[in-house]
Amino acid sequence: MGGDRGPAAVVAGLVDSAQADSALHFILHGDEGILRPLLARHPMIADRVEIRHAPRTVTMHDKPSQVMRHGEGTSMWSTIDCVKQGEARVAVSCGNTGALMAVSMIRLRKLPGVNRPAIACLWPSRNPGGFNVMLDVGADIKAEAEDLVQYATMGAAYARNGMNLKRPRVGLLNVGTEEHKGRAELKVAHDHMMAAQEAAGFDFVGFVEGGDIPSDRVDVIVTDGFTGNIALKTGEGTAKLISDLLKEAFGAGLLSKFAALLALNSLKRLQKRIDPRRVNGGVFLGLNGTVVKSHGSADSTGVAAAIRLAAQLARSGFNDRLAARLASAVAAGQDAAVQENGQEK
């Protein structure tokens, strides 16, 4: 109910997803008086959608702390509770990101060994699958060395289950690839990732730079939420700028329009490749349940993409596998710390 485009966009995306995947069933949370007329236009999926009435809405302006204390009765709270009670395998929301993370943490709780949950996103890349994973992109603005190692484990699990990569390559974002560069916590995280890679099931490629984010050198990019969120918003803004500039260039005159007509198929492929709606959906990692955060401004295409990602993760048993990997990685990290302390003495 709290997305920028309102429930109509959510219902439209739900309908698109239901038509594309006959195995999906939905519990739709919000004001029944608004939702039922929207669904009434699509009787073919009526038996696959249950409306769960929630009279209150979390707005984009609500503070997470307030929602944590007074959020019961909102569509967001009801959605997360559905996952907590086992009624749904995964939650999808277009609402307030901070509030959604706060509610998810208080209702679902963190997985054992996780200090800070992270938000992971897909980034268009030169890899064969077309995307890389980056995290954290905004769950928390800071991260200690131990957090970054956990992000690596969680990001690798996401790439393994969401992108079918048997052994993902993980890179740690830094201002250079040399081992002596970067903040102290990055250097500590670098060494601990090297030690944890076998138990966590990934290959650590070392430090990577901003230019490597869309490259084929790495599958998972690990960074703190402050840096990751800025990189994400910059990338989305750049993609929009390129799209707008191409439209201006090919609409500048008769010859330009003729050239655009000749290049129409190529332009459509490019537009599809850089369209952020295709990869809409940041996944909250490190919780006792799977939550997918859609852009607040997502239209039906974006909402359908988030639902598609959610369904894929649910079917893969992603969260159970992630918990097992985290337990192994935590044990490996503890062994590395003990060994390191022993050498220092």
pLDDT score of 91: 95
Distance, CA of 100 to CA of 323 (rounded, Å): 21
Per-residue pLDDT tens digits for 275-295 = 555 666 788 998 999 999 988
Domains of the chain: 1-108 (no CATH), 115-282+317-345 (3.40.718.10)
For residues 138 and 229, is the Cβ–Cβ distance under 8 A? yes
pLDDT score of 339: 58
Contacts of 325 (CB under 8 A, 6+ apart): 153, 156, 157, 199, 200, 201
Per-residue pLDDT tens digits for 239-266 = 778 778 877 777 777 777 777 676 667 6
pLDDT score of 269: 66
pLDDT score of 172: 95
The residue whose two tokens read 């907590």 is 84
For residues 205 and 171, is the Cβ–Cβ distance under 8 A? yes
Contacts of 235 (CB under 8 A, 6+ apart): 123, 213
Show the tokens assigned to 79. 């959605």
Q: Is 280 left (phi over 0), alpha (psi -120 to 50) or beta?
A: beta
pTM of the model: 0.80
SS3 135: strand
Point out which residues pair with 241 in neighbouring strands.
Answer: none
pLDDT score of 334: 54
Distance, CA of 149 to CA of 200 (rounded, Å): 10
Q: 135, 164, 195: which is closest to 328 by C-alpha? A: 195
Q: What is the CA radius of gyration of the chain?
A: 21
Which regions in the chain score pLDDT beneath 50?
none
Side chain identity at 269, as an amino acid letter?
Answer: R
Q: What are phi and psi of 28, to 5 degrees?
A: -105, 120
pLDDT score of 29: 96
